[in-house]
Amino acid sequence: MPIIPVNYYIFLSLALFAIGIVGVLTRRNAIIIFMCIELMLNAVNILLVAFSKMHHVAAFALDKTTTVGTEAQLFVFFIMVVAAAEVTVGLAIIVMLYRNIHSVDINFLNRLKH
Amino acid sequence: MHITEILFWILTALALFSALMVVSSDNPVHSVLWLILVFMAITGHYILMNAQFLAIVNMIVYAGAIMVLFLFVIMFMNLNKDSEPQKSVWLRLAAVVSGGSLLLILVAALKDNGGYINSMKGEGSIGLIKNLGNTLFTEYVVPFEISSILFLSAMVGAVVLGKKESSTPAA
């Protein structure tokens, strides 16, 4: 019987999240920054599904008809819904940005500083 | 070593390598393609954890719809060239150090978690669409309807933002 500690999933999720943060901090292309934010959202989704599975397995050992863990998977579903809405608005903002300054380089977005 | 563990390590390596390539590749189109590979690896993880509905939704919504939208915008703006201006070396080094220290601290804080994910015979029906749909349309029907309003407002917002501005700028 395969047993995977939930720690491994935590570490995988944290590594993906950290890579997303490094991408947000290092890149200057607004689209790639946006993609790194999507990467961080997905890291959180993995963690939610892993915890759902962990609790379900623990409850299933006692009761064969349990549905513990359904809520976490629905949360992941709603996160995906919100991410889809966020991507449409975000890409519309990037397109508007490109139309105004003819670039997606975020270093040109310093007008609020002056 | 069981086949599940082998698949877990293969998918983990694939996800981490592809995520590093997303961050480090110069061409934005290559970044999108690597990100699709990350989402495919994550879909594999969902299947390993018996979350079949989420695996399919992840595949269709993320790897299908959202990434095609990114690719469409990149090609629409003609950004598929390698000459992106880079931040200075010190700034990038500081970013890597801060991200690495965040990873280090979170790993150190969470490494003593003692849960296990094991697969039992006959288990694995909560990830199916029957159970999820039943819960979604009974207990979570109000958030579901509110999310439709969210989509409507996102659609209106995207149209308003993407609309061509009139010749006389307001204010």
Q: What is the pLDDT of residues B103-154, one digit of tens each?
A: 999 999 888 877 777 766 667 678 888 989 999 999 999 999 999 999 999 9
Residue A16 CA to residue A8 CA, distance in Å, equals 12
A71 pLDDT more than 50: yes
Position A112 in a domain = no
Position A94 in a domain = yes
B167 pLDDT more than 60: no
Contact criterion met (CB below 8 Å) for B11 and B67: no
Q: Is A97 on the interface with B (CB under 8 A)?
A: no
Q: Is A109 on the interface with B (CB under 8 A)?
A: no
**Mean pLDDT in chain B?**
87
How many CB atoms lie under 10 A from the CB of residue B148? 10
Structural domain of A71: 6-103
pTM equals 0.90
Q: What does the angle CA B69 – CA B74 – CA B76 come to, to the nearest 5 degrees?
A: 90
Q: How far is CA A6 from CA B52, B75, B162, in A?
A: 19, 40, 43
Domain B1-81 belongs to what architecture?
A: Up-down Bundle (1.20)
The pair of three-digit structure tokens given for residue B29, joined into one six-digit string: 């189109």
B168 pLDDT more than 70: no
A46 pLDDT more than 80: yes
Report the number of distinct structural domains present in chain A.
1
Position A67 in a domain = yes
Q: Is A41 on the interface with B (CB under 8 A)?
A: no
CATH number at residue A34: 1.10.287.3510
Residue B58 CA to residue B49 CA, distance in Å, equals 14
Q: Which residues of B touch A105 (CB under 8 A)?
A: 84-85
